[in-house]
């Protein structure tokens, strides 16, 4: 197999589904799911996913370039590596999803939406992760990096979203996120249906959803914007030194979630509102019938505002900055 992305977009399995190269073994497990194993022992297992949303193509292209270099012997492999292109039908269609948002279905939530094609895919991705982790030793380090791009522009162009976890985050993992050029980290305070929460909750993996820019179609991405993340990822899987740190990411935590529960939902933000725009205390953010969402803290920042989600889904998150300075933070008050 020469090109993971092109093989996946073709909708067919490769003629050969496994093979051994001078430095690794590869195994095509299913559509868009590839396992790479070094021929020398390792104590680190990395799962890297992209394309969970089919219109977020830049991370898919970046990851595919890296896998191509591994398969061609241009780069060594120092970890057990599982690569998952999340939603191949949506990637082929250039759509975020076909019926259901795949990144809300993990942790068994797919069982409530069995009529959606994404439900079966969520189950298959869960199964692939479980098999991958169980194949390693108990001493193995487990990381899961889920690569995305955002619908909207952002005051922080590259940022990470950390799933809720009762465990402290490994120092090496946090150092890698900084080396990958992330400008901010957002910490969830409640469980969710995301892929990274699933891997963290069920397999104690250090996991993060990386938002690496704005969603654009295949062929329209400026991959130079992802250079830091690509270099850090290449160094991680090859066992090479990380690129130097430029600055520590700013840290935010989720304070409230805005949920659209009915057709009467109104989000009081313009379509041009950037992620991490700040709002002052008391401002009305959204309303849904008798339910009203206000800014509760002295200053809160919006993340992922989207009034067009299906009823019952998240229409936005509100954040506060940890250890915030006096004066302006990421976005100006709107």
Q: Is 127 helix (H, G, I), strand (E, B) or coil?
A: helix
CA distances from 329 to 37, 41, 81, 97, 160 (A): 44, 46, 38, 33, 17
Residue 127 token pair = 């199964």
Q: Do the strands 80-85 and 44-50 form a parallel or antiparallel pair, or are they unpaired?
A: parallel
Q: Establish whether 211 is a catalytic residue.
A: yes
53 is in an annotated binding site: yes
Give me the catalytic one of 211, 290, 300, 321: 211
Cβ atoms of residues 102 and 198 within 8 Å: no
- Both tokens of 46, joined, read 């990395």
Residue 103 · residue 115 · CB < 8 Å: no
Partners of 208 in beta bridges:
145
> Distances in Å between the alpha carbon of 211 and those of 73, 258, 283?
29, 20, 27
Please indicate if the annotation marks 292 as binding a ligand: no
DSSP line for 55-82: T--HHHHHHHHHHHHHHTTSS---SEEE
Beta-sheet strands, E only, within the chain: 18-20, 24-30, 33-38, 44-50, 80-85, 141-150, 159-162, 184-187, 206-214, 250-260, 266-267, 278-280, 284-288, 291-294, 299-303, 313-321
How far is residue 234's CA from residue 69's CA, in Å, rounded to a whole number? 10
The helix/strand/coil state of 41 is coil
56 annotated ligand-binding residue? yes
- Residues 6 or more apart from 222 whose CB is under 8 A from it? none
Whole-angstrom Cα distance, residue 261 to residue 312? 5
User: Which residue numbers belong to the known binding site?
Assistant: 53, 56, 148
User: Which residue numbers belong to the known binding site for Zn(2+)?
Assistant: 53, 56, 148
Which active-site residues does the annotation give? 211
């Amino acid at each position: 197999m020469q090109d993971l992305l092109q093989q996946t977009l073709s909708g067919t399995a490769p003629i050969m589904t496994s093979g051994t190269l001078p430095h690794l073994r590869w195994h095509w497990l299913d559509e868009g799911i590839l396992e790479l194993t070094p021929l020398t022992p390792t104590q680190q297992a990395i799962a890297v996913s992209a394309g969970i949303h089919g219109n977020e193509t830049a991370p898919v292209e970046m990851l595919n370039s890296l896998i191509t270099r591994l398969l061609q012997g241009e780069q060594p492999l120092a970890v057990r590596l599982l690569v998952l292109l999340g939603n191949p039908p949506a990637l082929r269609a250039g759509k975020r999803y076909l019926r259901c948002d795949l990144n809300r279905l993990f942790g068994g939530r797919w069982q409530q939406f069995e009529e959606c094609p994404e439900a079966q895919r969520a189950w298959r991705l869960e199964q692939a992760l479980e098999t991958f982790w169980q194949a390693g030793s108990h001493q193995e380090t487990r990381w899961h990096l889920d690569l995305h791009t955002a619908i909207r522009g952002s005051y922080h162009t590259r940022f990470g979203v950390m799933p809720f976890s009762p465990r402290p985050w490994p120092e090496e993992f946090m150092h890698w996120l900084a080396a990958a050029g992330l400008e901010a980290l957002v910490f969830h305070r409640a469980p969710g249906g995301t892929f990274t929460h699933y891997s963290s909750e069920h397999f104690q993996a250090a996991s993060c959803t990386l938002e690496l820019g704005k969603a654009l179609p295949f062929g329209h991405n400026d991959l130079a914007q992802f250079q830091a993340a690509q270099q850090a990822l290449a160094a991680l899987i090859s066992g090479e030194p990380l690129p130097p740190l430029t600055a520590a990411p700013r840290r935010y935590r989720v304070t409230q979630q805005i949920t659209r529960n009915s057709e009467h939902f109104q989000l009081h933000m313009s379509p041009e509102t950037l992620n991490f725009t700040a709002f002052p205390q008391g401002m009305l953010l959204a309303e849904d019938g008798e339910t009203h969402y206000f800014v509760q803290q002295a200053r809160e920042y919006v993340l992922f505002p989207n009034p067009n989600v299906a009823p019952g889904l998240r229409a936005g998150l509100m954040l506060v900055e940890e250890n915030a300075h006096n004066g302006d933070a990421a976005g100006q008050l709107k």
